[in-house]
Each structure stands twice: as C-alpha cells, then as structure tokens.
C-alpha cells in the first residue's frame, strides 16, 4: 500500500486494493514501478440510481517527488478503448514521466472496457472484424445490426443497460473514484473523447478540480459530429502547406485529385491482400477498398511521422503504383492500434451522443458538401446500429457549452483530423480562465508533440495561475514531406 501525502489524501480508506494481476498488470512490472491497484465501486447510473454497483479497475503510479502536488487523473480517448492495457507504455513515455515527477498519476478503465465491469460482449469486436469484406453496404449493415442486436439481448439478460453509459456517467465514475480514494483536489489531463468526459466533470463536479488540460478537445457543443468535416479541415491545412513551398507545390500539385482518383478506382477494383505476404500473417485474404484507403489516410494524419508520407503516397498510388498501395495497406492494417477495444461500450456512448441534431450534421448534407471524402462514410450504418442498440436521444441541454472559471489549458494540433483547432476555440469561448495553444506541425494529442509542449503542460499544473510562455513553440520545425523512396518508410 502506497502512503501518500496526508495533505492530499484522507487516511483509513476502504480497502479496495486488489492484486494487480486481476486487472491485467504484471506483478514484477507493478513492483518495479511501485504501482498500486484497486477495484472501486461506482453506481450503475448517476442520473437514475438503482442502488447497485459496477467495480472499476484503477491503477495509481505515485509521484516521484518527496513533496508531491495534487494528484493527476488521466482520461483516455475513445470511447471503447481500455486505458490500463496501455499503462506500461504510458509510464515509459516522456510526457507521463515528466508529469509523474510531481504528481501521482491515476488511471482507470472506463466502465465496460478492459478490466472494469461490466463485461460487454467481449467477442463483438472480433465478430465485426470477421464480417466478409465482399459484402455490399446493405449486407454489411444487416450483419452488423444483427450482431449488435444479439449483444444487446445478452446484456439485458444480465441487467446491463446501454442507457447506463455516457460521457456524463464516465465523469460520475471518475468523481466516485476520487471520493473513494479520499482525494481532496486533483488535476485532470484528458485527450480526445477524454476531454468530453473532463468537460462533464467540470460542469457537474467542479468543486474538487484544481486545474485541467484539454488536449484535442471535443466539446458537447461541437458543430460537427462526423469525421468528414474535420478531415477536410485537416486536408486543407496539408494542401496549404504544400502550396506555400515552391518545391512541394511542383511535386504535389493536387493531392485532393489524387485522393479522389484512388478511392474511385478502389471502389470499383479493391486491392486483394494475400493471407500471407512478407512478414504479415492475416487470418484470411482481405480486400482493401475505397473506405479502407480513406481511413488509412485519416490514420496517417494523426501522427506527424506519417503525415509526411501522405502527399507522396497519394501521388504514387494515384499513378498506379500497386507496390506502394500494398505496403500502405499493410502498414495501416492493425485494427487494435489504439489499444484493446470494446465495440459495445463505444456504440453505447457514441450512439447516444453523436446523433445528428441539425441539417448540417446529416449524412446526406455531408456527402453533398464533401463528395470527394464520401468514402469515410458507410451510408446508413450508424443510423441502423443506433436503432437496435442505443435509440435514446439526450436532452437538449446535454449539448450546452460548458461554463467554468477553473484554470484550463487547451492544446490543439494544427493537422488534427479528429478535433481541429476550431474545436479548441469553441471550447475556450465559455471557459473564462482558459488558454488555447495551437501547436504547429502537430496533430492529435498535441501535448505529446515535443519537450516544449510537455514542459508547458507540466508547468501549468504546478502553477495554473501563471500565463504559459509560448516562446519555444516558435522554434518548432515545419513537417518535411517525403519526396522519394516511400517504400523504406512503410516497414
């Protein structure tokens, strides 16, 4: 049992300690890193209590300082992604190593993910991935809808209600964890969907929050709930950067036309990926179609290391270079690249919170406005899955802007294809004590970008009242795009 500073944590806590093996963490690694583990009870539904609990898996890495500051809660992106499955990686990163110097780090698996209750159709993700990629869109929708319908039936038999899942409920879970651990004040570091949870914490449980970082924010009042608007915004940044450099402009005169040419071709003639090739072993041969390609470019835009490959990849593949296309397809082939994933938990939350609220959010509007990026949409899929799994509509006030005076630092990446800088501005508009930092040449999870951004974040937590210095951001280099020999980078 770790002994924390008495000024930060209450003593004589309920004994929620558990063997870290029970929540998927290796005992030797746990001992080496002095991590402690808990299974903490939370009410099943914050807005409609039924008097029964789920137990959530929590891990704490103590601060390295002998005089630690307020603990720091990490809120992972997603939804659907298990936090603790990535914990061994997180604690090795420069970002969390720096934050751990002065703060105990608190991680937990959101309900329905990883080792937190309830168990939500563990085989659903694999079953969805196993659906044949030769099906038509209509057949795909029918197959997926049946899988989700069967999953919901199984959940209801166990008294597991999809209505017990939301960003507000995740915030209530975090608040319950704070209370049970006896934490008086804490800081919050949130990324992507985790910022939606953090904003619900700010709105509903503000009293015990010392400061907040929202990294790549997705506020409840975001104007776009789709992936196409942000992708187009990000793509325009890429096009602008290329046009401003005479060499790049000559090399890559129209990447948008290249993208359209590729997706049009793959829609008619998908690439066949053999079951066994080079060092890759797939379960069966696979088709790589226009949707797969569109999403692979979206994935590439998440990381500056792969953003630099995009213009040349588009140029080469559009010109008919199938060797590059195959290498590109294999490079972005991992469905679990972001961590262990629960499709049911993700659908329960997104199906509730991302239904179109007005005309500009509907699929028909988006397809008409962005026909070149229509491959990012499986037309009608979300509507059908939400009908069978999460048909409820949140109250209108659920999407109100969050107002607060809590010290808040907002990071946004210049190239972010998920939560572009406009989301940071919208978030900041009603947070009176907030500062927005748009990080040049960065993408999603912008605070991870380099030593400069990490130091800005770490100093903010130590003194949230001090205005951050942005001088080091001026030294960030522009992305240098690859102009030849792309194959060597796709390994």
Tokens for 398, please give them.
Answer: 């659920």
The mean of the pLDDT values for the chain is 93
Mean pLDDT of 227-254: 98
On the question of pLDDT at 490 being above 70, the answer is yes
Question: Domain 20-119+165-223+399-475 belongs to what architecture?
Answer: 3-Layer(aba) Sandwich (3.40)
Q: What do you get for the CA distance between the two ends of the chain, in Å?
A: 44
Question: Cα 354 to the chain's mean position, in Å?
Answer: 15
| Coil, strand or helix at 250 | helix
Confidence of residue 283 (pLDDT cuts 50, 70, 90): very low
The Cα 123–Cα 344 span in angstroms is: 10
Confidence grade of residue 284 (pLDDT, cut at 50, 70, 90): very low
Average pLDDT over residues 81-103: 97
d(CA 439, CA 87): 25
Contacts of 347 (CB under 8 A, 6+ apart): 80, 148, 162, 385, 386, 389, 390
Cis geometry, peptide bond prior to residue 79 (ω within 30 degrees of 0): yes
Structure-model confidence comparison of residues 449 and 13, the more confident one: 449
Residue pair 353/165 in contact by the 8 Å Cβ criterion = no
Report the pLDDT averaged over residues 380-388: 95
For the cut 90, the answer to whether the pLDDT of residue 2 exceeds it is no
Please classify residue 394 by burial: count the beta carbons closer than 10 Å to its beta carbon, then call 0-12 exposed, 13-18 middle and 19+ buried. Answer: middle
Scanning the structure block, which residue is given the tokens 């060092």?
Answer: 279
Read off the pLDDT of residues 35-55 as tens digits, 9 standing for 90 and up: 999 999 999 999 999 889 999
pLDDT at site 4: 42
Does the structure show a pLDDT above 60 at 420? Answer: yes
Domain boundaries, the chain: 20-119+165-223+399-475, 228-337+479-489
In this prediction, residues 363-370 reach a mean pLDDT of: 96
Would the pTM of this model clear 0.75, i.e. be above it?
A: yes
Distance CA 247, CA 245 (A): 6
Q: What is the pLDDT of residue 130?
A: 87
Q: Is the pLDDT of residue 1 over 50?
A: no
pLDDT band at 129 (very low <50, low <70, confident <90, very high): confident
Average pLDDT of the segment spanning 49-74? 95
pLDDT band of 304, cuts 50, 70, 90: very high
pLDDT tens, position by position, 4-15: 443 445 444 568
Judge residue 153's burial from the number of C-beta atoms within 10 Å of its C-beta, 0-12 exposed, 13-18 middle, 19 or more buried. Answer: exposed
């Amino acid at each position: 049992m770790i002994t924390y500073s008495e000024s930060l944590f209450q003593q004589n806590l309920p004994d929620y300690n558990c063997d870290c093996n029970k929540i998927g963490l290796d005992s030797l690694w746990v001992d080496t890193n002095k991590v402690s583990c808990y299974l903490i009870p939370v009410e099943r539904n914050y807005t409609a209590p039924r008097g029964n609990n789920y137990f959530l898996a929590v891990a704490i890495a103590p601060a390295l300082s002998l005089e630690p500051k307020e603990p720091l809660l990490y809120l992972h992106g997603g939804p659907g992604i298990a936090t603790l499955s990535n914990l061994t990686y997180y604690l090795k990163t420069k970002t969390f190593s720096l934050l751990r110097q002065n703060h105990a780090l608190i991680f937990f698996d959101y309900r329905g993910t990883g080792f937190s209750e309830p168990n939500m159709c563990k085989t659903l993700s694999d079953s969805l991935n196993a659906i044949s990629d030769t099906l038509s869109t209509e057949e795909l929708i029918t197959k997926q809808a049946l899988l989700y319908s069967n999953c919901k039936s199984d959940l209801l038999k166990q008294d597991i209600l999809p209505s017990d899942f939301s960003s507000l409920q995740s915030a209530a879970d975090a608040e319950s964890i704070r209370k049970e651990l006896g934490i008086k004040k804490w800081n919050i570091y949130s990324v992507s969907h985790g910022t939606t949870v953090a904003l619900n914490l700010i709105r509903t449980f503000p009293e015990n929050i010392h400061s907040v970082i929202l990294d790549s924010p997705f506020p409840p009042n975001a104007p776009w709930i789709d992936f196409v608007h942000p992708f187009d915004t990000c793509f325009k940044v890429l096009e602008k950067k290329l046009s401003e450099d005479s060499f790049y402009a000559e090399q890559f005169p129209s990447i948008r036309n290249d993208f359209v040419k590729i997706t049009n071709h793959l829609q008619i003639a998908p690439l066949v990926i053999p079951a066994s090739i080079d060092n890759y072993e797939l379960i069966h041969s696979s088709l790589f179609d226009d949707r797969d390609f569109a999403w692979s470019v979206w994935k590439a835009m998440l990381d500056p290391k792969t953003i630099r490959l995009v213009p040349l990849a588009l140029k080469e593949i559009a010109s008919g270079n199938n060797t590059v296309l195959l290498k590109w397809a294999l490079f972005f082939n991992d469905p679990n690249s972001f961590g262990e994933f629960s499709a049911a938990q993700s659908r329960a939350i997104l199906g509730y919170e991302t239904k179109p609220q007005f005309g500009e959010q509907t699929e028909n509007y988006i397809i008409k406005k962005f026909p070149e990026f229509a491959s990012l949409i499986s037309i009608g899929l979300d509507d059908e899955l939400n009908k069978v799994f999460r048909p409820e509509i949140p109250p209108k006030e659920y999407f109100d802007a969050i107002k607060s005076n809590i010290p808040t630092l907002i990071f946004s990446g210049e190239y972010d294809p998920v939560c572009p800088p406009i989301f940071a501005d919208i978030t900041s508009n009603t947070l009176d004590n907030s500062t927005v930092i748009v990080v040049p040449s960065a993408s999603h999870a912008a605070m991870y970008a380099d030593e400069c951004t990490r130091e800005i974040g770490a100093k903010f937590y130590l003194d949230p009242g001090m205005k951050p210095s942005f001088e080091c951001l001026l030294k960030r280099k522009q992305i240098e795009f690859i102009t030849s020999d792309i194959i060597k980078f796709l390994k």
